Amino acid sequence: MGYNFMYFRLKRPVSEYPFKPSTSFDYYKEVRLLPEIETTSNLFETMTNSNINVNGSKDEGAISYWWNTPDGGSLDIMLDPDRMVLHVDTHAHWRYVLELYLYLRSYIDSLYIIDNQSTYIYDENSYRRFIIDSYDSN
């Protein structure tokens, strides 16, 4: 298992990123559904030079994809059937999480990244800073 992120949509953007939700933050009230599964699955087919392949269906209708990233790593991408989030199990440089995010955001509005370990929510700029800070500290 790698480092885990998720992509999801917020109904209302917050004022500052990264954003650390309080314990009272109700994800079910704040998160918008992603587009239909069929529409989202077709998005990966148009990503040029991506080497993203269908990785089969998983638990109870989830759709999974595998991206062999250019650095020799991989991203395991899973869309839940409830369309709340796209899970990204990361075994590659985190810049590929950003690259996939930017690609998806061109099709899906109000998309954000959440770090599953810290629960911080990122927009594009704050995630770029997070990558730099994370890799520079190692």
- Average pLDDT over the chain, rounded to whole? 84
Task: Evaluate whether 86 touches 6 at the Cβ level (below 8 Å).
Answer: yes
Q: What CA–CA distance (Å, rounded) separates 55 from 122? A: 27
Q: Global pTM?
A: 0.86
Domain residue extents for the chain: 3-136
The pLDDT tens digits of the residues spanning 74-119 come to 999 888 777 788 899 999 999 999 999 998 888 888 899 999 999 9
User: How many other CB atoms are there within 10 angstroms of residue 85's CB atom?
Assistant: 20
Classify domain 3-136 at the CATH superfamily level.
Sporulation inhibitor of replication protein SirA (3.30.310.250)
Residue of 1, 22, 2, 34 whose CA lies nearest to 112: 34
User: How many other CB atoms are there within 10 angstroms of residue 70's CB atom?
Assistant: 14
Token pair of 37 as six digits: 């599964």
